[in-house]
Amino acid sequence: MHQLQGNWRFNEKASFTNSLSYTHYKRFTRTIRKDLQNKTEELTTDAGTQDTAQFSNFFWRSSLQYTISPKVSIQPGLELNHETSTGRRIAGEPKINDFSFFASTEYKPASWLNVRPGLRFVKNSIYNAPPIIPSLNTLFTINNEWALRAAYAFGFRAPALRELYFDFVDANHAIYGNPNLEAEKSRSFNASLVYSKLLHNNQRFTAEAGGFHNYFNNLISIGVDPNNSGKNIYINIAENKTAGFSAKARLQTQNWQAGIGGVMLGRYNRFKGEDYNGKEIPQFNWTPELNAEIMYTIEPTHTSLNFFYRFNGKRQIYQTVDGENITLGNRDAFHYGDFSAGQYINKFLTLTAGIRNVFNITDVASTQQSGGAHSTGGDYVYNYGRSYFLTLNFNYNHFKK
């Protein structure tokens, strides 16, 4: 991975930002079958067991920031994405180009209002993008403590080459590219109310509550090939939606940082309106998710203690296995936590020890038909279990005037 970034400031009103990156990925696959009884070995001839796959990506982005007046500033820019690939498991030697021109404006008609509209024009070498891709972000500053944010955005994503042409096949996977994929389009809305207050002794309390709604057309996902249940392919989901309500709060003092948050997440039911055990299937199934973090610093010994916690509520989804009968699949709720302790030794060394997956969560009971790359049902494999780590970090900085 190679990356180059530059920022030039011409004067107080104008600056130029440029970013270049090149990524090259090569994967060698060589598979040998050994006969332990006869003490012989040979190269296998199964699909995908002998291969060299290569992916290359070049990305360039340049933008100009210009302040017209204290109330108006603009940001036009160009973006180029070029991707190529080769390999025995890739059909042909495909390439895809994506060229974009974008522009946004920040307008401050009053001290309490900030409006930032944006437009993007995309030319893709394979897919027809919408003529204009718009976005709008707004900020209403009610007073020194309260602010309201609201945003709308239209999205467009062309499939990546690996989703179109790459066949990933080994002992545990069977995922095939789909050259017939359609481009993904989306619309998203979100709004939030933010409260921030500086307390005594530089303590700060912040809180935020909001909601969101996302709509996807031709969402790209992985599904089971209808003609072969043992084969997974990239597919388009004609219609998909997510919606939710979120809230979070944080308190920061000299020694403590504590935060708590949660979201009620709704996932779209593609069988909405149909009958299930005498009841009409709703548009969304809702799942609660909670997270919390506590960080404490012991100043005399320069020790930091950190605990991160997450709760995933019970998840339900209406599904059909035979294409006719609808069932309700469930995935149980579970808790997850990480703990770490850091010790400052000197200006060069820091020692950190911790526990990942404190509650030792491995499998989560599930009756959902996942349709994923690893299995089509049964318990959900979440993690390999509790683990421990010890890290010694060395940091050296040397500056000459």
pLDDT digits (tens, 9 = 90+) for 345-390: 998 999 999 999 999 999 998 887 654 444 445 677 888 899 999 9
Q: 98 CB contacts (<8 Å, ≥6 apart)?
A: 79, 80, 81, 82, 122, 123, 124, 125, 158
Name the stretches of the chain with pLDDT < 70.
47-48, 91, 170-173, 229, 321-323, 369-378, 399-401
β-strands 174-176, 228-252: how paired?
Answer: parallel
Residue 80 bridge partners (DSSP): 60, 99
Q: Whole-angstrom Cα distance, residue 401 to residue 399?
A: 7
Q: Whole-angstrom Cα distance, residue 163 to residue 127?
A: 14
Q: Whole-angstrom Cα distance, residue 358 to residue 123?
A: 48
The answer to whether the CB of 333 falls within 8 A of the CB of 361 is: no
Closest CA to 151 of 183, 197, 104, 99: 104
267-304: b (≥16 Cβ within 10 Å) or e: bbbeeeeeeeeeeebeeebebebebbbebebeeeeeeb
Q: Whole-angstrom Cα distance, residue 271 to residue 286?
A: 15
The 8-class DSSP code of residue 165 comes to H
**pLDDT score recorded for residue 401:** 54
Q: Tally the C-alpha atoms within 13 A of residue 78's C-alpha that lie toward its C-beta.
A: 5
**pLDDT score recorded for residue 367:** 84
Q: Whole-angstrom Cα distance, residue 146 to residue 192?
A: 11
**pLDDT score recorded for residue 375:** 43
Distances (CA, A) of 141 to 103, 104, 149, 239: 24, 21, 9, 36
72-95: b (≥16 Cβ within 10 Å) or e: ebebebebebbbbbbbebbeeebe
Closest CA to 374 of 174, 209, 239, 240: 174
Sign of CA dihedral 9, 10, 12, 15: negative
The answer to whether the CB of 254 falls within 8 A of the CB of 228 is: no
pLDDT in tens, 256-285: 999 999 999 999 998 888 888 888 899 999
Distances (CA, A) of 301 to 50, 74, 252, 348, 350: 56, 49, 20, 16, 12
Number of helices (H) and strands (E) in the chain: give both, helices first: 1, 27
**H/E run at residue 161:** helix 161-165
**H/E run at residue 164:** helix 161-165
Amino acid at 357: N
Q: 135 CB contacts (<8 Å, ≥6 apart)?
A: 104, 117, 118, 119, 120, 151, 152, 153, 154
**H/E run at residue 162:** helix 161-165
Work out the number of other CB atoms within 10 angstroms of the CB of residue 233. Answer: 20
The answer to whether the CB of 362 falls within 8 A of the CB of 314 is: no
Record the tokens describing residue 293, joined without a space: 């973090």
